[in-house]
Amino acid sequence: MVGKYNMREIYLISHTPNDEVKHLKVCEIEFLKFSIDLKDFDALVVTSKHSIKALKFNNIKFENIKVFSIGDGTTNEAKAFGFTDIYTAKNHHGNEFAREILSLLPNKKVLFLRAKEVVSNVDGILLDNEVDLTSIVAYRNKFIKLSADKIPPKNSILIFTSPSNVKGFLRNFEIDESYSIVSIGKATTNELLEYKNVITSSFQDVKKCIEIAQNLK
């Protein structure tokens, strides 16, 4: 039965649904207007697939520059846009990702497309290490007001895919002590420190998080 495992409901709290589990949308992406010429840069740093979608939203002319991607989901979005020279990080968490790619950025003019509100310090780390960086706020999260009947039942398993999704959930509901929680990464887990039963995925990948949730008893 879709969304159930051992009689426990699994809720994916994410911008994007997945057919294997129930979906709860607590925030949505708003793309912001900007204008750039990719020919002015040697490399693009992206920590979310929304950064690539922001290029599409703003009708930015494609130029096949080097892309540094934080994970497989972002890499797949970059490939779909047309990029072919893509470095996918071994470290799938913001600050570690920034430190990993530092040695690959000397003498490069780098573009970083980011969210309005962030919990990691990718641009700060790159700038502190004298990377020639242009940082643009490309999108922001808007929280959604939900009715009380949308709250997951007791004993549910919740999968949080970003810090903003944790914040959006808590704007609507409390986290019941009977819930088990799967977090996609360290930054998301940092928003859940006061709660018990939190498992942090080793990979910033929704499929991996669903596998963890399905194996919870």
Band (pLDDT 50/70/90 cuts) for residue 185 is confident
Say if CB 209 and CB 181 are below 8 A apart.
Answer: no
Task: Round to whole Å and give the CA distance between 174 and 157.
Answer: 14
Task: Round to whole Å and give the CA distance between 130 and 107.
Answer: 10
Band (pLDDT 50/70/90 cuts) for residue 67 is very high
For Cα atoms 57, 60, 62, give the angle at the middle one, nearest 5 degrees. 125
Examine the pLDDT at 5 and tell me if it is beyond 50. Answer: no
Q: What percentage of the chain reaches a pLDDT higher than 70?
A: 97
What is the structure's pLDDT at 204? 81
What is the structure's pLDDT at 91? 82
Mean pLDDT of the chain: 93
| Residue type (1 letter), 49 | K
- The pLDDT tens digits for 130-178 are 999 999 999 999 999 999 999 999 999 999 999 999 999 999 999 999 9
Q: What is the mean pLDDT of residues 65-85?
A: 95
Band (pLDDT 50/70/90 cuts) for residue 6 is low
Q: At what angle do helices 72-81 and 49-57 cross, to 10 degrees?
A: 20
The terminus-to-terminus CA distance of the chain in angstroms comes to 16
What is the structure's pLDDT at 63? 97
Task: Round to whole Å and give the CA distance between 136 and 183.
Answer: 27
Band (pLDDT 50/70/90 cuts) for residue 3 is very low
- Does the pTM surpass 0.85? The reply is no
